[in-house]
Amino acid sequence: MNLLDTLLRCVATLVVFLVLPLVIGQTEHKVMAHMQGRLGPMYAGGFHGWAQLVADGVKFAQKEDVVPAGADRRVFRIAPAVALLPYLLVLLVIPVGPDGFVGQAVDAGIFFVLAVMGIGVLGSLMAGWASANKFSLLGGLRTAAQLMSYELPMLLAAASVAMAAGTVSLPGIVDAFHWWWIPWQAIGAFVFFTAGLAELQRPPFDMPIADSEIIFGAYTEYTGLRFALFLLSEYAGIVVVAGLTTVLFLGGWHGPFSDSLGWLWTLLKTFALAFVVIWLRVTYPRLREDQLMRFAWTVLIPLALAQLALTGIVKVAIS
Amino acid sequence: MSTLLAATGSLEPAARSFLSPTGAEVVFLLVGLAVLGAAVVSVTTKQLVHAALWLVVALGGLAVEFLLLTAEFIAWVQVLIYLGSVVVLVLFGLMLTRAPIGRSPDADSGNRWAALLVALAAAGTLVTLVADAFRTSWIDLTAGGGSTRATGEYLFRHWVLPFEALSVLLLAALVGAIVLSRSTSGRLPRPRAGKLRAGKPVGRPAAPAATVPSTAPTAPAQER
C-alpha cells in the first residue's frame, strides 16, 4: 500500500511535469499571437492548432543529434539532464491541495526548492563550456552570473514568507496563510516573481540566450531532442515559478470551497501567473546585460531586505 | 544537550553490533565510497573543468549522507551553498580565465606531495578526533531528529554565541573582500560630478569618435 502510494505520487508528478509545460507552451503560442494581432498555429490537429507542440516534438525527435567535433562529448550530453531534472524534483514538493495533496511533503520545503533550483545553473554552465563555442561559453557565463545574482533576492523574499508563517514547510506556509498576507507580502511577491522570471531567462531577462544578441547562448550547439529538453526545462520552469509564487504569496489552495476544490484554485492561480509571464514577454523590451545586473543588485535586493524588515516588524507587533 | 543525550538512548556498546547492518547503513557506506571516489578523481584528473564537476558529485554525495543521517535541513543547506553557489563560482572563475577542453598537463603543481601530506595529516587528525569523541556512544536515528525545528532550536538555544561570532567573522570577510577588490580602482579618475553611472553604457555607439575624430582617442579614456 505504501509502495503503491509512493509510486502513484511519482507517476502523477511525472504526468504533470510532462503535460503542464506543453499546455503552457501552447498557451504561449496562442496568447502571443493574439496580443500581436495574428492567429498563431491553426492547422496542426485541426481545432486551432492544438497539436502544434506534439508536431514540434515529433520534429525534434526526428532531427539528427549533432555533437560538435571539438566538444567535450560526455559533459555535452549530460548537460540537458542537469538542467531539466531539478524542475522535476521541485514539482514533487509543491502542494496542490489541502490534506496531503502533494507529491512528497518535505520538512524544509522552501530550502529544498531553492537549493534544487540552484543546481540548474550547472546545466547551463556545462552546456556552455562543453560546446567548444565562444558564443556558448559567453552565454553560459552570462547565464551563471544572472542566476547567481537573482538567487539572492529570491531567497530573501522566500525567507520573508517563512518568517511570516513561522515554518519552512510549503504546506505549512499555505496553512498559515490569511488574506491580509497579500498586501503585507506584496513587495516580496514582486521580488520573488521577478527574480523567478530572471532565473528562467524569460524575456525581458533573456540577455544570456537572446537570439539577436548571442545566437542562443549556452544552447547554441544543441540540436534535436537535447535542444528540446532545454526548451522543456524553460516551460517546466514557468510552471514551477508560477506554482511557487502561488503557494508562497497567493495562498495556494485558499479560496471558496477550498476543502473540495483546493487543487483547482492552485491550478487557476498558477495558470494566471503563467499568463502574466507570457504577457510580460510580449510587453517589455529586453534588458541590457549591465542593466540586468544593476536591477538585481540595486533594486531587487534592497526591496527584498525592506520586505524582510517589514515582515519582522509586523510579526513582532502582532505576536 | 539534553535532547541529544536523550536521543542517544543507551550508551552501552555491547547492545549494538556491527555485524548486522541495516539497509540505511549499507547505503551510507556505499555513498561514502562513491564520495571518496569522486573526491579522488576530482584531485587526480588532468581536466580542469572535470575536476570541478567531480567536486559536484562528491559534495552532492555528502548531502545524501546528511539525508541518511536524518539531518534534512543540513542536507539542503549543503546543496544550496556548495552545489548551487561554491562550485558554480569555481566553474565561473575557471571559465572566465582558462578552461580548455581536454587535458591540461601544465596544471600540475610541484607541491603535490606536500599537499598529499597535509591532506593526510588533516584527515588523520579529524578522524582521530571524531572517533575519540564519539567512542562508544550510539545515536539512534529517528525520523525528524534533524528536522528544521530541531536544528533551529538547537542552534539558537545552545549555540547562539558561536553562531553570532561566525556571522561577525563572515561579515568581516565580506568587508575585507570588498576592500581588496576596490583597492585597484583607486588610481582611476573619479566619475564626473553629476554623473552617477561610471563608465559608458555598453550598447551606445561611440558618437564622439565618429563625429569629432581629432579628440576621439582621448574621449573614451577620460570617461573611464
Q: A-chain residues within 8 Å CB-CB of B76?
A: 108, 111-112, 115
Inspect the interface and report whether the beta carbons of A151 and B84 lie closer than 8 Å: yes
Residue B117 has pLDDT above 90, yes or no: yes
Q: What would the mean pLDDT of A285-297 be, rounded to a whole number?
A: 85
Pick among B59, B95, B97, B98 to test the A interface (most A CBs inside 10 A): B95
Q: Mean pLDDT across chain A, nearest whole number?
A: 85
Per DSSP, chain A holds a count of helices (H) and strands (E) of: 13, 0
Angle at which helices A109-130 and A224-249 cross, to 10°: 160
Residues 56-85 of B with CB under 8 A from A: 56, 72-73, 76-77, 79-80, 83-85
- B135, three cell numbers: 567512542
Confirm or reject contact between B28 and chain A (CB < 8 A): no
Q: What would the mean pLDDT of A38-67 be, rounded to a whole number?
A: 83
- Residue A97 phi, psi (nearest 5): -140, 175
In whole angstroms, what is the distance from residue B67 CA to residue B61 CA?
Answer: 10
pLDDT tens, position by position, B83-102: 888 888 888 888 887 777 77
pLDDT tens, position by position, A2-27: 888 888 888 888 888 888 888 888 88
For the whole model, what pTM was predicted?
A: 0.80
Q: B-chain residues within 8 Å CB-CB of A107?
A: 72-73, 144, 147-148
Q: Which among A70, A145, A289 has CB closest to B101?
A: A70
Inspect the interface and report whether the beta carbons of A70 and B76 lie closer than 8 Å: no
Percent of chain B at pLDDT > 70 equals 71
Residue A217 has pLDDT above 90, yes or no: no
CA distances from A193 to A142, A188, B81 (A): 20, 8, 22
Inspect the interface and report whether the beta carbons of A118 and B101 lie closer than 8 Å: no
Q: What would the mean pLDDT of A161-187 be, rounded to a whole number?
A: 85
Please, what sign has the CA dihedral across residues B94, B95, B97, B102?
positive
Pick among B148, B149, B151 to test the A interface (most A CBs inside 10 A): B148
Among residues B73, B77, B81, B60, which one has the least CA distance to residue B145? B73
Residues 113-132 of B with CB under 8 A from A: none
Inspect the interface and report whether the beta carbons of A141 and B96 lie closer than 8 Å: yes
In whole angstroms, what is the distance from residue A13 CA to residue A22 CA?
Answer: 14
CA distances from A36 to A39, A41, A48, A279, A282 (A): 9, 13, 17, 11, 8
Confirm or reject contact between A308 and chain B (CB < 8 A): no
Residues 184-223 of B with CB under 8 A from A: 201-203
Say which residue, B30 or A108, is predicted with more confidence.
Answer: B30
Among residues A238, A232, A236, which one has the least CA distance to residue A281? A238
pLDDT tens, position by position, A269-284: 899 999 999 898 888 8
ipTM of this predicted structure: 0.81
pLDDT at residue B187 in the model = 59
- CA distance to partner chain B, nearest, from residue A37 (Å): 30
In whole angstroms, what is the distance from residue A228 CA to residue A233 CA?
Answer: 9
